[in-house]
Amino acid sequence: MSERVLVGPVEALPEGGQTQVSVEGVSVVVVQFEGQFYALRNNCTHKDYPLLGGEVSAGRITCEKHGARFELATGKPRALPAVKPVRVYRTEVEAGQLYVCPL
């Protein structure tokens, strides 16, 4: 079974914050949006550009390269030019620490 990966203390990722961790050798972007933590593969499915640093609004993250948008909760594409979903990961909070778990 895959191990969960420690992101850090929850206070280190405030509302609207983003960070990046490596899960099984894959870069994953972790976001807090409206009090929830989300984790998605840090690669746009259009041309692989990193999603880290993209604008987050309305539950979606925007790829800065060409403007594709993905749902934080599901990874589903909601704006072209991306048509494939981004892989999502589960997040867990335990004893004040945030973790990302492969699904």
Residues near ligand FES (CB under 6 A): 44, 46-47, 49, 63, 65-68, 81-82
Return the H-helix or E-strand segment holding 85.
Answer: none
Amino acid in position 91: T
Q: Which is nearer to ligand FES, 44 or 88 (CB)?
A: 44
Smallest gap from residue 40 Cβ to ligand FES (A): 13
Q: Which residues of 64-99 are buried (b: 16+ CB within 10 A; e: fewer)?
A: eeeebbbbbeebebeeeebeeebbbbebeeeeeebb
Smallest gap from residue 66 Cβ to ligand FES (A): 3
Smallest gap from residue 79 Cβ to ligand FES (A): 9
